[in-house]
Amino acid sequence: MAKIRYENYDNVSTTKSFGDMLRWSKERRAKKKDLTVQIPQHDAKEIKRLYENRSEPSITWIGHSTFLIQLNGVNILTDPVWAQRMGFQKRMTEPGIPIDELPNIDVVFISHGHYDHLDFGTIKKLKGNPVFYVPIGLKSAFTERGYLNVTEASWWDEFSFGSLNIIFVPAQHWTKRSLTDTNTSHWGGWVLVDRMLDQRIYFVGDTGYFRGFKEIGEKFDLDIVLMPIGAYEPEWFMKDSHINPEDAIKAFLELKGKTFIPMHYGAYRLADDTGPEALERMYKEWDRLELTREALTVLKLGETLRLK
């Protein structure tokens, strides 16, 4: 029986040839990058408060695409990855909070199956008995490891957990965890609508720029957008699957969100850009468009944004 292979909007392909890989490898060897400057850690970490928090809504950046989100006593993790290595490369910045200092986790959202977004070594160490919300095609990877509280989602599926409405929304990407499973599970982002707090948070996941942002912006009155800005260079190779800082801001404007929080930079060297370079391009474009700085929240590792 043939395996189902999932696709992007408009059948946009992210497939690259062996020749493309060789060209990128040659370009990377020729580049000189300053890797001595890294994304800073937040000095005043509130680990004890986060551990005990059951009432104050907040978002804490752990690093890469991992956030601890606390809403109405529910502890949520997005794409939990504390791995010290990604392939042959060592993690460049420490996670903002040690994994053993997390509170019990109630819900985990997975955007897709790439190893920098789904790390079972990390999941094994989580405290609590979380519900895992995963893209269609990924459930078996959990159940075969003994995780049974798993909900699989197709694009636009909606679920309820306590005071939350949870919607799995499209992204433009791809996935692969072995030699034969390319695109046999899907990819996407998660919109969290807290009915009690009247808050709408969009965890974008991993994506290139695509027309789906306009569609999502029309469906939801978004308050906070957790948006990737890194792993875009070289752009001729990465642009279909990784959004650059300028297009991330363009997408944010199409989403009509109120607060932009950048992510997906500074932890692993998945492409040729560095974390500081991604931030510099983001700030430059933000100022060029004369956008208000009140709508931009750049978190340090381990820093918490308290929601109103």
| pTM across the whole model | 0.96
CATH number at 280 reads 3.60.15.10
Per-residue pLDDT at 54: 87
Residue 80 within a domain? no
Return the half-sphere exposure (C-beta side, CA atoms, 13 A cut-off) of residue 213.
24
Q: How far is CA 70 from CA 43, 52, 204, 238, in A?
A: 20, 11, 18, 33
Residue 246, token pair as written in the block: 């300028």
pLDDT tens for 224-246 read: 999 999 999 999 999 999 999 99
Structural domain harbouring 284: 112-297
Q: Map tokens 């060789």 to a residue.
A: 22
Q: How far, in Å, CA of 158 to CA of 65, rounded?
A: 22
Per-residue pLDDT at 47: 87
Residue 244 · residue 219 · CB < 8 Å? no
Residue 61 within a domain? no
Name the 3-class secondary structure at 249. Answer: helix
Residue 293 within a domain? yes
Is residue 167 classed exposed, middle or buried when 0-12, 13-18 and 19+ CB atoms within 10 A define those classes? buried
Per-residue pLDDT at 1: 57
Residue 215 within a domain? yes
Question: pLDDT under 50 in the chain at which residues?
Answer: none
| Domain tally, the chain | 1
Residue 140 within a domain? yes
Residue 48 within a domain? no
Residue 49 within a domain? no
Per-residue pLDDT at 2: 66
Residue 32 within a domain? no
Name the 3-class secondary structure at 85. Answer: strand
